[in-house]
Structure 1
Amino acid sequence: MDRTSQLYISAEAIIGAITIVGNALVLVAILKNRQLQTITNCFIASLAVADLLVGIVVAPLAALSHLGLPKNFMGCVFTNSIVVAFTQVSIFNLLAVAFERFFAIKHPFAYQKHMTIKYSMLINAGVWTLGLLFGLIPMFGWNLKKLVTDDWMCNFVTVIDMEYVVYFHFFGCIIIPLLIIVAIYVYIYLIVRKQMSQIAALEIPGPNQGRSKSKFKREIKAAKSLAIVILLFGLCWIPIHVLNSLTLLCRPGSCAYPQELLLTTIVLSHANSAVNPFLYAYGNSNFKHAFERMFCKKEYWSENASTLPSSRPLPQNVSSDDCRNDQVPEDRNKVQDFKTNGTLHDDNNHRQSVNNGENDALNSSRSSSECLSPQNKKTNRHSGEVSSSDMRNTKLELFVVDQHNDNLNNIS
């Protein structure tokens, strides 16, 4: 085996491993986190499955084909057709995502009414069926079997008809869908500019308006992230198809290119499947947090909980000076010591704990818990009012309050 083949097979192995790990993490994140179980992410999961199979199946088979394996003609056709099939599934997935984003931004109310997880899964089933059928067409006869000679050796160009690759696959099933996708995202951009200007002109303060604007911004961010995915797909896959087009359209010998260039474009096309998970993590905060939770687990939440700002107003009997940023961490530590040592107090009757020597920690922790939580229960009961920010508690606040109430119940 020459040095070029060794480098090529090594690159395929590395890309295959990265692709498997990255896309497996994407799928696990979607399965384990309800926040990620959205309609858009159904299409992302479908694309991740296609990318995962590129790492598991396509990269090893491409290396085998480069070595002239398998020796059987139809086996060689299948080995090389499956590469085309998963490419076709990926581009159809991207097309489906583009239409889904267009529908969500152009017709948000109809989208909420008609677009469901079940419906998106049916679309994905159609995408996979169509992509696999188009990609495996050489298995049904559109191949180069009639040109097989005694010295035949398994290779992509010796079994797959370049007319199929260029005219049907590249021009018909990649270029046209990519042009449609680009047109959709240009139209989405124009819609976004128009609607954002309308929102700015007619902006009326109010909770409903704020929620609508926030949701619209999330839709825009999702569209931007997916546009980057599509752009990189084009950049990674077009070079190999340009070389295939030169092979078909140029006269023999007039458009020769080195084998190293061909192998580089093949590796680049497979690398696209390894890059997508990093794009999801970079462009989607929910994916980023899901990945952090998978790797950091409890350490992630304990580390970030100490920096979570309170969204609730301060109670009337606590001044803003008592809740300075430099005091809160210290008070939180006292709260932890306070709970660990079994010291409890009641907001209503101010019961002392069984450990009379913990009065200082008690007072400090009570001040800290009031900084972290809103008006005490007594104030809320008398006023009968619940602030809208009460519905947006941080995880730390809920933990402190729930633990405090459980301790009070145990004392009672």
Structure 2
Amino acid sequence: MTLNTDPTTTLSNSSSPEGNCLDDADNVHETVRHYALVALTPVILITNLVVLLLLAAHRPFRRPDLLLIASLCCADLMVGAACIATIVTRAREATLSGCLLRTGLSVFAVQASIFCLLAVACDRLVAIVCALRYNHFVTYRRAMIAVLLLWGLALLFGLLPLLGWNRGEELYAGYCSFLLVFPPSFVATSFVLALLPIGAILLIHAYLYSQARVHIRRIDAMERVLGQKPCGTLGMSVRSWKCVRTVTLVAGCVLACWCPFLLTSLYALITERAACIVIEVVGTHLLVLGYVNSALNPVVYVLRNKELKAVAWATVARMCKKRDS
């Protein structure tokens, strides 16, 4: 079975002996992905469950900002569920419907996670720009509505391939890979729906960093006037370095994890004859790298939130105390 060579409807391959990649579900990239997911999935599930338990166990944390973090953890747990499905099937679904169900779950979970990251960033922006009226603008009810809308949009997009936006049963030969079952139009839409929120997240954190730097410079200037020279590296105070670390941690995790997948997918989309190795690497190694973000998110947001971090350390201390006694 061969793919249609029309570049608007399919991705072909010049280097494969058969002219396509559909019969190679046992390639080495899939094997590497399988074992990588076996190691990564428990980390995703455990870290996100721990944060959810921290949030559920403490009433003071039932606030709009922490609801958004809880929503992010739930989305990342869905990513973990998609990883489990991939481990079980090993991209060898017998039917196109089964393939689209699993890949649609992955698309839904990843898109929900990215949307939730954007919601958390917007919440921080409102907290900084409208600090005095934050409680008026951001209520628990509005946060809940925003979460439901974002999850609904992600779910709808994840279901579209199963509802008909796919390459068709006649082109499916048992290898369930991202770029082989989704048409270029869906891949392009996925690219836009992921890149726009990530770009917005980066812009928001760049703005927050610039605002923080203004306040830090004022504090440093006051300390110099009082004779308290701020200590630091490369002429930057400790506060400045802390601000840089925070922005790098949050924005860097998203960029490092998802940009390789998105950019390589775009390359495969616009290249008339994409090599099998590109298609296979996008659907295996780079997709796993994107999933790593779901393991990092709970750690990043616990480290950034002083209350959550304090509760986490207090919980660990209590557990150690009980074990010693």
With the shorter chain as reference, the TM-score category is 0.7 to 0.9
1:59 partnered with 2:83: yes
The separation in 2 between residues aligned to 1:283 and 1:7, in whole angstroms, is 33
The separation in 2 between residues aligned to 1:117 and 1:222, in whole angstroms, is 28
Give the count of matched residue pairs.
281
Q: Structure 1 residues 113, 202: closer, same or farther in 2, change over 3 A? A: farther
**Residues 78 and 139 of structure 1 are in contact (CA less than 8 Å); yes or no, is this contact kept in structure 2?**
yes
**Residues 243 and 262 of structure 1 are in contact (CA less than 8 Å); yes or no, is this contact kept in structure 2?**
no
Tell me how far 1:45 sits from its aligned partner: 0.8
Tell me how far 1:147 sits from its aligned partner: 4.5
The separation in 2 between residues aligned to 1:246 and 1:255, in whole angstroms, is 13
1:341-361 Cα shifts (integer Å, max 9, x gaps)? xxxxxxxxxxxxxxxxxxxxx
> For residue 263 of structure 1, what is the amino acid of its counterpart?
T
Tell me how far 1:35 sits from its aligned partner: 4.6
1:243 partnered with 2:267: no
Alignment of 1:139-154 (within 5 A): 139-145=162-168, 147-148=170-171, 151-154=173-176
- TM-score normalized by structure 1? 0.60
Q: Secondary structure at the match of 1:68?
A: coil
1:17 partnered with 2:42: yes
The separation in 2 between residues aligned to 1:34 and 1:226, in whole angstroms, is 29
Aligned to 2:158, which of 115, 121, 135? 135
1:353-382 Cα shifts (integer Å, max 9, x gaps)? xxxxxxxxxxxxxxxxxxxxxxxxxxxxxx
Alignment of 1:152-301 (within 5 A): 152-165=174-187, 167-170=188-191, 172-195=192-215, 225=246, 228-253=249-274, 256-257=277-278, 259=280, 262-297=283-318, 299=320
**Residues 23 and 274 of structure 1 are in contact (CA less than 8 Å); yes or no, is this contact kept in structure 2?**
yes
Tell me how far 1:59 sits from its aligned partner: 0.5
Aligned to 2:102, which of 54, 64, 79? 79
Tell me how far 1:186 sits from its aligned partner: 2.1
Q: Structure 1 residues 142, 2: closer, same or farther in 2, change over 3 A? A: closer
Q: Structure 1 residues 228, 34: closer, same or farther in 2, change over 3 A? A: farther
**Residues 50 and 86 of structure 1 are in contact (CA less than 8 Å); yes or no, is this contact kept in structure 2?**
yes
The separation in 1 between residues aligned to 2:194 and 2:282, in whole angstroms, is 21
1:26 partnered with 2:26: no
> For residue 88 of structure 1, what is the amino acid of its counterpart?
Q
The separation in 2 between residues aligned to 1:258 and 1:136, in whole angstroms, is 22
Aligned to 2:135, which of 92, 109, 112? 112
Tell me how far 1:198 sits from its aligned partner: 6.1
- Equivalent in the alignment of 2:75: 50
1:217-274 Cα shifts (integer Å, max 9, x gaps)? xxxx899747633431222112122222222211225685384675221211111111
Give the unaligned 5+ runs of structure 1. 204-220, 304-412
Q: Structure 1 residues 4, 190: closer, same or farther in 2, change over 3 A? A: closer
Identity %: 26
Q: Secondary structure at the match of 1:16?
A: helix
1:296-339 Cα shifts (integer Å, max 9, x gaps)? 316559x9xxxxxxxxxxxxxxxxxxxxxxxxxxxxxxxxxxxx
Q: Secondary structure at the match of 2:180?
A: helix
1:38 partnered with 2:59: no
Q: Structure 1 residues 2, 101: closer, same or farther in 2, change over 3 A? A: closer
**Residues 104 and 159 of structure 2 are in contact (CA less than 8 Å); yes or no, is this contact kept in structure 1?**
yes
Q: Secondary structure at the match of 1:297?
A: helix
Higher Rg: 1
> For residue 228 of structure 1, what is the amino acid of its counterpart?
L
1:92 partnered with 2:112: no
**Residues 65 and 154 of structure 1 are in contact (CA less than 8 Å); yes or no, is this contact kept in structure 2?**
no
Tell me how far 1:111 sits from its aligned partner: 0.8
- Equivalent in the alignment of 2:226: none
Aligned to 1:126, which of 149, 158, 173? 149
**Residues 94 and 230 of structure 1 are in contact (CA less than 8 Å); yes or no, is this contact kept in structure 2?**
no
Tell me how far 1:190 sits from its aligned partner: 2.8
Q: Structure 1 residues 262, 82: closer, same or farther in 2, change over 3 A? A: closer
> For residue 56 of structure 2, what is the amino acid of its counterpart?
L
The separation in 2 between residues aligned to 1:82 and 1:263, in whole angstroms, is 16
Q: Structure 1 residues 227, 26: closer, same or farther in 2, change over 3 A? A: farther
- Equivalent in the alignment of 1:387: none
**In angstroms, what is the RMSD of aligned CA positions?**
3.2
The separation in 2 between residues aligned to 1:102 and 1:86, in whole angstroms, is 24
**Residues 268 and 279 of structure 2 are in contact (CA less than 8 Å); yes or no, is this contact kept in structure 1?**
no
The separation in 1 between residues aligned to 2:243 and 2:116, in whole angstroms, is 15
The structure, 1 or 2, with the larger RCO (C-alpha pairs under 8 Å, 6+ apart) is 2
1:168-209 Cα shifts (integer Å, max 9, x gaps)? 111x21222222222222222233334455678899xxxxxx
**Residues 19 and 51 of structure 1 are in contact (CA less than 8 Å); yes or no, is this contact kept in structure 2?**
yes
The separation in 2 between residues aligned to 1:239 and 1:113, in whole angstroms, is 39
Q: Structure 1 residues 73, 46: closer, same or farther in 2, change over 3 A? A: same
Larger deviation, residues 259-268 vs 223-232: 223-232
